[in-house]
């Protein structure tokens, strides 16, 4: 799991709030997309380019880790593969559907590969078989949290 130094997050959030004073004082949760540093960097690049405006998570993984589910309107700091804060996103929509019920519009919003549903299904099945945080791993009817978000604040690499 990729993490960030709390002092770095505090400094980053102070800098973001200097440009966006309407944001809350409390530092949002910080996390990285994917399961590896390379995956985090690749997916972050898609967010920063405006290509990736959605993500999907296994509800079973949330149950296994005890992590709270995201909520609409929630802010998140997105980390790169080294744990450096690089962007702030806001969750705009959430819906839970079975894996085999994820639609082409959501696959396109995730911005990966050729953005097709076929690509999304193959890539996500592979991901959950290899990196799931729960003992059930993957199933075609597993509950998937489909999240859409907007980029609130990007930070260019220095």
Domains of the chain: 6-154 (3.10.400.10)
pLDDT of res. 24: 97
| Secondary structure (3-state) at 140 | coil
What does the block give as tokens for 122? 């193959």
How does residue 155 score in pLDDT terms, banded at 50, 70 and 90? confident
**Which residue reads 């440009």 in tokens?**
19
pLDDT of res. 156: 54
Q: Residues 121, 110: contact at Cβ < 8 Å?
A: no
Over the stretch 20-41, which tens digit does the pLDDT of each residue have? 999 999 999 999 999 999 999 9
How does residue 158 score in pLDDT terms, banded at 50, 70 and 90? very low
Span 59-70, mean pLDDT? 95
Q: Could you tell me the pTM of the whole model?
A: 0.94
Span 44-65, mean pLDDT? 96
Q: Residues 153, 87: contact at Cβ < 8 Å?
A: yes
pLDDT of res. 1: 85
Taken as a whole, the chain contains a residue count of 158
Residue 115 has pLDDT above 70, yes or no: yes
What does the block give as tokens for 143? 């509950």
Side-chain half-sphere CA neighbours of 53 within 13 A: 11
């Amino acid at each position: 799991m990729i993490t960030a130094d709390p002092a770095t997050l505090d400094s980053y959030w102070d800098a973001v709030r200097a440009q966006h004073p309407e944001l809350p004082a409390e530092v949002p949760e910080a996390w990285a997309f994917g399961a590896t540093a390379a995956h985090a960097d690749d997916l972050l690049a898609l967010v920063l380019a405006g290509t990736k405006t959605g993500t999907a998570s296994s509800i079973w993984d949330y149950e296994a880790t005890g992590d709270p589910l995201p909520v609409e309107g929630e802010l998140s700091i997105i980390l790169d593969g080294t744990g450096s804060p690089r962007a702030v996103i806001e969750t705009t929509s959430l819906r839970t559907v079975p894996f085999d019920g994820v639609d082409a519009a959501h696959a396109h919003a995730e911005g990966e590969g050729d953005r097709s549903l076929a690509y999304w299904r193959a890539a996500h099945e592979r991901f959950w078989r290899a990196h799931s945080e729960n003992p059930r791993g993957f199933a075609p009817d597993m509950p998937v949290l489909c999240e859409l978000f907007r980029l609130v604040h990007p930070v260019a690499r220095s």
